[in-house]
Amino acid sequence: MTVDPSAAARLEPPRQTSLGTAAARTLATTAKSVPQMQEITSRWLLRMLPWVQTEGGVYRVNRRLTYNVGGGRVEFVQDGAAVRVFPRTLAELALLRGFDDIEVLTALADRCVAHPFRAGETLVEGGTPADRLHLIAHGRLGQTAVGRYGDALTLDVLADGDRFGEHALLDADARWEQTVTAETPGVLLTLSRADFTAVLSRAPHLRDHVAQAAARSRRRQNHRGEAEIALSAGHVGEPRLPGTFVDYDLTPRAYELSAAQTILRVHTRVSDLYNGPMDQAREQLRLTIEALRERQEHELINNREFGLLHNADFRHRVQPHSGPPTPDDLDTLLSRRRGCRFYLAHPRTIAAIGRGLNAYGIRPEHVELDGRPVLAWRGVPILPSDKIPVTRENTSSILVMRTGEDNQGVIGLHHTGLPDEYEPGVSVRFTGIDDRAVASYLVSTFYSAAILVPDAVGVMENVQIARRPG
């Protein structure tokens, strides 16, 4: 067989005539990135809060005297299918606020009767006699009333821990002002006026407490529950003018700075031999501080002592009217306070808000913030934070807030000028080298948040964020 010389030449690999790239890379300096970190987020809350220097580690919020009328929620204990009231939480009722006799509270709790309800069931009819207190253990209820022109008005949505009908316990002529209808299945517990009166008759100290609570409710207050400042206006001639003074809360809330700390360890051999082109200790510190900042934002939202979700006033917590967030829900949250600076929601909640706007045929608006466009509603930015919890039922919360001391809003608290301060509010202290040649650094930051007046923060709870089928 004859082989074509030109074909054989084409089959031979080309002869290398210069240094290859693989070998050359052994002598080259590699271009490399600084260490990357997936945990880093935009941390909008830290960026948007005005930070106040807190000397002495404590910030005291002084307010006008406010008559506390029991704005907390009642809690329940579930034992299989049975549900009962946790007795101590009955002290959250306006009439029982501050009452601590556990035996009497237990007697009242034992007289609460559980009533399951179905979706669509009318629980009370507006205008009918009211003779019992209703405590919502689980479920969503809608309140409606008849308007001036005969049309039905949707007033509010009640959910777990809320109640209605407290006025009926003492007033024999009480009537329901609204119609209450179940939007979901659930359970409520009722305490009748007769049962309340029976316990009241056997507990003289409870009668005295209830009488004092009723007297407090008759004191002159403004619509925010604050002690009224007596004024006269629109008068003519020389009438006697009222004397007044502004009373202060004698037990103001004091916020102590919380600490986030860790000990960073770097082996001296690493920092001695492998410190170029990047400083190993500096990169370790950078990533550690990023993690501290992420934890700081998480605590500002979720900490039980000062976190915004747990410290928002119960009177400023609302429920969505149908589950998923709608433009009407955003308006409800926005309209209950002045000067709102921004909404804060989980990214999945923001996606659900977008779907809600699309369902209404509304084109989402955007505003520019820090040089970038962000989703907004009524000109108020809707900012993401993955620190807001999402439950297993695919529900979450939406916060809206006013910020700044001058606006009586929400402020961040920190302390700068720390010893060995690495960046404002972050201290990095060298604590020595141990017998294994490992250098240690104590990394610390101190922070908290304060809500100056209750309406500075509003929370919409139980927002459904899962996509509905169809």
Q: Could you report the per-residue pLDDT of 114-156, keeping only the tens digit for each?
A: 999 988 899 999 889 999 999 998 888 989 888 777 777 878 8
- Name which of 49-63, 207-221, 289-303, 418-432 the model is least confident about: 207-221
- What is the distance between the alpha carbons of residues 258 and 447, in angstroms, rounded to a whole number? 5
- Of the listed ranges 140-154, 176-190, 273-287, the least confidently predicted one is 140-154
Q: What is the pLDDT of residue 230?
A: 60
User: Which residues have CB under 8 Å from 192's CB, separation 6+?
Assistant: 111, 113, 131, 132
pLDDT of residue 337: 87
Paired strand residues for 145: 153
Residues 6 or more apart whose Cβ sits within 8 Å of residue 101 = 203, 205, 206
Q: What is the C-alpha separation between 157 and 320, in angstroms, rounded? A: 7
pLDDT (0 to 100) of residue 470: 57
Strand partners, 345: 384, 398
* pLDDT, greater one: 405 or 321: 405
Are the C-beta atoms of 181 and 120 separated by less than 8 Å?
yes
Output the pLDDT for position 422: 94
Instruction: Give the residue among 450, 94, 103, 393 at the shortest CA–CA distance from 255.
Output: 450
Amino acid at 97: R
Give the start-end residues of each E strand in 62-108: 76-79, 82-85
pLDDT value for 62: 87
Among candidate residues 440, 434, 418, 387, the one with its CA nearest the CA of residue 262: 440
Q: How far apart are CA 457 and CA 45, in angstroms?
A: 13
Number of H-type helices and E-type strands within the chain: 11, 25
- Residue 109 in this model has a pLDDT that exceeds 50: yes
Provide, rounded to the nearest whole percent, the portion of the chain with pLDDT above 90.
50
Quick one: pLDDT at residue 98?
A: 82
- Residue from 269, 292, 298, 272 nearest 386 by CA: 298
- Summarised one tens digit per residue, pLDDT across range 220-250 is 566 555 666 665 565 566 676 565 556 666 7
Type of residue numbered 303 = N
Cβ-contact 85, 138 below 8 angstroms: no
Predicted confidence band of residue 68 (pLDDT cuts 50, 70, 90): very low
Question: For residues 376 and 410, is the Cβ–Cβ distance under 8 A?
Answer: no
Looking at mean pLDDT, say which of 39-43, 83-87, 446-450 comes out highest.
446-450
Question: Could you tell me the pLDDT band of residue 69, with boundaries at 50, 70 and 90?
Answer: very low
> What is the Cα–Cα distance from 126 to 103, expressed in whole angstroms?
35
